[in-house]
Amino acid sequence: MIKVRQQPKVVHSQTELGNENKREQTSCTVVKIRLYDSKDLENIVQLWYQTWHQTFPNIQHPQPYSAWKSRFSDELASTGEVWVAEVEHDIVGFVVVIKQEQYLSQIFVNSQYQNCGIGSALLNKAKEICPQGLTLQTLQQNTQSCRFYEKHGFKAGQLAINKINGQANIEYDWNP
C-alpha cells in the first residue's frame, strides 16, 4: 500500500469515479466510499485487528483474531450498515453504523492513511445515514480519536467500561 500524504479526493459512486478518472489527477489520491460486500470480510477484519493493536500496543485484547472475524460477520455486518473506503482497490478504512440505534459502532482507518481525510469522509457517511444524530463509544486512552470526534462536533458524555476488552470507555454524542 502507498502512503497518502495529500488530501484525497473522495468519490461516492461508480459514476463519479468514472468521471473523475477522465480528469487529470495531479495532487489527489482518489478514495472511493462504497457499501460493504461479503467478499471484503477478510480484508476488513485484518485492517480492524491490525489497526486496533497498533493503536493500543500496551493492551492485550482478550479475544483472538477468529473471534473478531466472527463478531464482524455475525454481528456487525448483519445488523449494521457497513461502508468501505478504498484507495486503488485496497481497503483502507471502514465504518459500521447501526441505523436503528443511531449508533456508530466502528470506524477504522489504516494507520498509513490516517490524517488525510478518509476518517472524515467515513464519519460524514455515518452522519448522512443518521442525520438526526449519532452516539459512539471509544476508549478513553484513545486521545487521537477523542480529538477527531470533538473536531467533528461530537460532545463527550458518560464514562463506562468496555464490555469486550474491559478498558475504560467514553461515550460521544453528535446532535446536529
Residue with cell 472511493: 32
The three grid cell numbers given for residue 94, joined into one nine-digit string? 471502514
**What does the pLDDT read at residue 163?**
87
User: Is residue 84 within 8 Å of residue 34, measured between CB atoms?
Assistant: yes
Residue 165 maps to a domain: yes
Q: What is the CATH number of the domain that holds 110?
A: 3.40.630.30
The answer for residues whose C-beta is within 8 angstroms of residue 36's C-beta and 6 or more apart is 44, 77, 82, 83, 84, 94
User: Is residue 87 within 8 Å of residue 4, measured between CB atoms?
Assistant: yes
Residue 162 maps to a domain: yes
CA angle 65, 71, 74 (to 5 degrees): 135
Domain range enclosing 108: 35-174
**What does the pLDDT read at residue 39?**
97
Asked whether the CA dihedral 57, 63, 66, 70 is positive or negative, the reply is negative
The 10s digit of each residue's pLDDT in 138-174 is 999 899 999 999 999 999 999 999 888 888 999 999 9
Number of domains in the chain: 1
Residue with cell 447501526: 98
**What does the pLDDT read at residue 26?**
27
Q: Give the N- to C-terminal CA distance of the chain in Å, as an integer.
A: 36
Residue 12 maps to a domain: no
**What does the pLDDT read at residue 17?**
38
**What does the pLDDT read at residue 22?**
30
Residue 14 maps to a domain: no
Q: Which residues of the chain have pLDDT under 70?
A: 1-28
Residue 49 maps to a domain: yes
**What does the pLDDT read at residue 27?**
32
Residue 13 maps to a domain: no
Residue 143 maps to a domain: yes
Residue 1 maps to a domain: no
